[in-house]
Amino acid sequence: MTVYTDYLWFKTKNRREIVRITDEVAAIVGKSGVTEGMALVSAMHITAGVYVNDWESGLIEDLQEWAERLAPARPDYRHHQTGEDNADAHLKRTLLGHQVVLPITKGALDLGPWEQVFYAEFDGRRRKRVIVKVMGQ
């Protein structure tokens, strides 16, 4: 049994940004030597998410607009009484999810034809991490 850990670092230019990370995760899986198992990909900051969906720019904008509609940026969140201004980012990452578990089969990520892995930043412009934990044989 092998357990292999690595981290991806992000510092996005914009406060909100969607970054495709499928290749980076696949590279870590390759380095791990695991051919049958699972990879956990999980945002370590609570204003960012990780999700699997389509690599199509229109849909990525639809997802961002949708998150804004359901979890809008607003001044009047209670969380902002602490001096923060990012309560919507905490809610948006809850909506999109903050982690995925990816299957590994025959030495590669076992993804469907259109599955791509994304990092969803909702309060960026500072260094943040995603853990990739690979487990299997």
Chain contacts with a second copy (rule: CB under 8 A) = 1, 3, 5, 36-38, 40, 42-46, 51-54, 56-59, 61-63, 66, 70-71, 77-82, 87, 90-91, 93-101, 103, 105, 110-115, 129, 131, 133, 135-137
Q: Which is nearer to a second copy, 14 or 82 (CB)?
A: 82
- To a second copy, the closest distance from the beta carbon of 98 in angstroms equals 6
- To a second copy, the closest distance from the beta carbon of 27 in angstroms equals 18
Helices 87-96 and 57-70 sit at what angle, rounded to 10 degrees? 120
CA 48 – CA 96 distance, rounded (Å): 9
Q: Which is nearer to a second copy, 15 or 66 (CB)?
A: 66
Element (H, E) at 135: strand 128-136
Position 82, amino acid: T
Q: Are 117 and 25 in contact (CB under 8 A)?
A: yes
Q: Are 25 and 109 in contact (CB under 8 A)?
A: yes
Q: Which is nearer to a second copy, 24 or 77 (CB)?
A: 77
- To a second copy, the closest distance from the beta carbon of 24 in angstroms equals 17
- To a second copy, the closest distance from the beta carbon of 115 in angstroms equals 6
Q: Are 6 and 71 in contact (CB under 8 A)?
A: no
